[in-house]
Amino acid sequence: MKKVITYGTFDLLHYGHVNLLQRAKALGDYLIVAISTDEFNWNMKQKKCYFSYEERKRLVEAIRYVDLVIPEETWEQKKTDVEEFKVDTFVIGDDWEGKFDFLKEQCEVVYLPRTPEISTTQIKKDLHNK
């Protein structure tokens, strides 16, 4: 069984997220999604989410491409997650291009193109300007 892992905040879930998850799942048999916790988002990214971690987790778990959801609590855990879950492929959006090449020693690293016309940041801006 080929295992794939990806990471994200997945706040204000939209079709760009679903596109990423569908393409990530197509690279293997089992998709693990690590979702940034509220504490990690605030303390490390200075990002406040609209939905709580538990709400975001519930939404992502409902997507048919996703087999397991785990919390992301630190930047460093990616290396240990790859080891612990015996991951074959690490997937992330191409806005992170090159940032996770250090994982190539442990697994394949794939940077997938984002869905260009949609982002949570843009949704928040649009809602704020209404």
Active site residue 45: yes
Active site residue 3: no
User: Catalytic pick from 2, 3, 47, 130?
Assistant: 47
> Distance (Å, rounded) from C-alpha 108 to C-alpha 95?
17
User: Catalytic pick from 2, 45, 86, 124?
Assistant: 45
Question: Hey, which residues are catalytic here?
Answer: 45, 47
